[in-house]
């Protein structure tokens, strides 16, 4: 059984990124011991929060930029050693707020739900290509609102019941959530999401690689399967969202019709 740990970065900002890493449960167990050892080595940190790392606050207060960078590189090396691959979804937060926030479906008020569904697809595609189809994946997300997790699980069940057999077999247990204090692999997801969001933002502003956060992305040596949601795709999502009704008053057959319309926005799974 494979486990994909997933976190997000940039909620409410101009760029929203969700990212994570996948490995076997045995690999993650070995990862945990080495990750904790790296956190404690040199200038020790009790936990990893990328906002603290890049702001040199919290656990990174008193670090120089070089000391911060060295710690991040050491942690990336642990990810490279144990993770099989990474998946990423990036969404233009400004365009999302303009096109979708405040619409008829509360699920679509933030890009979180759409990013969750997209990144699960990216993991399935990546695992099929790099590891093989006979590898079920459990998806573990960082903490989110319980109602949002419920929507994600409902969509997952729709996939489980309607996907081609080769895809259904890759969907392990239903998605769940936890936090980095209990599961250190979620810190690896935070590392990937935080580095990727800041790297994309720097590159968009034209910051050169040596000075930008993109230097950290170059340190990741595992395959990265990425998807950027374009404004055109967001507009399509808005059209489908306009047909959504309040989820707490829907009959079951109406809910399924609504979910099937949403599912049609995820063609990457079809025929794989």
The residue segments making up the domain with residue 152 are: 2-267
pLDDT digits (tens, 9 = 90+) for 99-148: 887 765 666 677 888 899 999 999 999 999 999 988 999 999 999 888 88
The total domain count for the chain is 1
235 located within any domain: yes
pLDDT, position 272: 35
Q: For the chain, how long is the longest CA-to-CA vector?
A: 58
92/230 Cα distance (integer angstroms): 8
64/70 Cα distance (integer angstroms): 10
pLDDT, position 34: 97
200 located within any domain: yes
164 located within any domain: yes
pTM of the model: 0.85
Which CATH number does the domain housing residue 157 bear?
Answer: 3.30.420.10
96 located within any domain: yes
pLDDT, position 94: 86
List the pLDDT tens digit at each of the 272 positions of the chain.
899 999 999 887 888 999 999 999 999 999 999 999 999 999 999 999 999 999 999 999 999 999 999 999 999 999 999 999 999 999 988 888 888 877 656 666 778 888 999 999 999 999 999 999 889 999 999 998 888 888 899 889 999 999 888 888 999 999 999 876 678 999 999 999 999 998 888 776 766 655 667 788 889 999 999 998 888 888 887 776 554 444 443 445 555 555 555 455 444 444 33
272 located within any domain: no
Give buried/exposed letters for 29-54 (b at 16+ CB in 10 A, else e). eebbebbeebbeeeeebeebbbebbb
Quickly count: other Cβ atoms within 10 Å of residue 118's Cβ: 24
pLDDT, position 134: 84
């Amino acid at each position: 059984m494979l486990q994909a740990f997933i976190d997000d970065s940039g909620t409410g900002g101009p760029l929203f990124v969700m990212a994570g890493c996948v490995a076997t449960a045995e690999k993650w167990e070995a990862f945990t011991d080495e990750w904790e050892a790296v956190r404690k080595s040199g200038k020790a940190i009790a936990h990893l929060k990328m906002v603290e790392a890049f702001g040199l606050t919290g656990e990174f207060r008193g670090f120089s930029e070089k000391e911060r960078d060295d710690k991040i590189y050491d942690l990336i090396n642990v990810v490279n050693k144990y993770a099989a691959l990474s998946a990423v979804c990036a969404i233009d937060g400004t365009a999302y707020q303009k096109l979708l926030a405040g619409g008829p479906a509360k699920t679509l008020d933030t890009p979180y739900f759409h990013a969750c569904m997209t990144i699960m697809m990216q993991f399935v595609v990546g695992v099929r290509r790099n590891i093989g189809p006979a590898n079920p994946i459990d998806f573990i997300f960082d903490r989110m609102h319980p109602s949002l997790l419920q929507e994600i699980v409902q969509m997952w069940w729709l996939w489980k019941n309607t996907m081609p057999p080769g895809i259904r077999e890759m969907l392990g247990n239903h998605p769940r959530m936890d936090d980095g204090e209990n599961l250190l692999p979620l810190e690896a997801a935070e590392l990937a999401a935080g580095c990727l969001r800041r790297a994309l933002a720097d590159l968009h502003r034209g910051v050169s690689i040596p000075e930008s956060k993109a230097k950290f992305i170059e340190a990741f040596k595992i395959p990265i399967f990425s998807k950027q949601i374009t404004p055109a795709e967001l507009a399509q999502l808005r059209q489908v969202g306009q047909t959504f009704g309040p989820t707490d008053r829907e009959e079951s057959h109406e809910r399924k019709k609504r979910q099937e319309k949403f599912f049609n926005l995820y063609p990457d799974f079809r025929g794989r």
